[in-house]
Amino acid sequence: MSEDRPGSLRDACRRKEPLWIVFEVSGTIKLNTGIKGKVAGKGLQLRECEHVIVCNLEFEGGRGPDVDAIQIKPNSRHIWIDRCSLRDYDDGLIDITRASTVITVSSVDPLEC
């Protein structure tokens, strides 16, 4: 099955309008080529998850109380935030709280998008 088909993650990342991406099953998404993506408005929330890599995404323009580009909580572990661009969120850029451990944040650019 083509990773470019309608309803795929790649197809969703290309769209300009706001949308939800919901996966019917958990598992591994294997990509043959990279996907570029930008998150605007509300940020990414990782809750009670483990073994997640967030790489090469742009986060910009979140408004409201407790709105961060990336929130990691509670009890999440083994998370790697790598080569992401973060800017212009009301509360903060990255919030790691409530017993979340083994979190790596590397090569994050808070100024350039």
**Per-residue confidence band for 1, with pLDDT thresholds at 50, 70 and 90:** very low
Q: Residue ranges per domain, the chain?
A: 33-106
Q: Are strands 50-55 and 77-82 parallel, antiparallel or unpaired?
A: parallel
Task: Give DSSP secondary structure letters for 68-86.
Answer: EEEEE-SS-EEEEEES-EE
- For residue 21, give the nearest of 48, 1, 39 by alpha carbon: 39
What is the Cα–Cα distance from 32 to 97, expressed in whole angstroms?
34
- Please state, rounded to an integer, the average pLDDT across all residues of the chain: 81
What is the Cα–Cα distance from 60 to 76, expressed in whole angstroms?
23
Q: 60, 84 in Cβ contact below 8 A?
A: no
Top mean-pLDDT range of 4-8, 30-34, 87-91: 87-91
Q: What is the pLDDT of residues 19-63, one digit of tens each?
A: 777 666 666 677 777 777 777 888 888 888 888 888 888 888 888
- For residue 107, give the nearest of 28, 37, 53 by alpha carbon: 53
pLDDT computed for residue 103 by the predictor: 93
Residue 111 reports pLDDT greater than 70: no
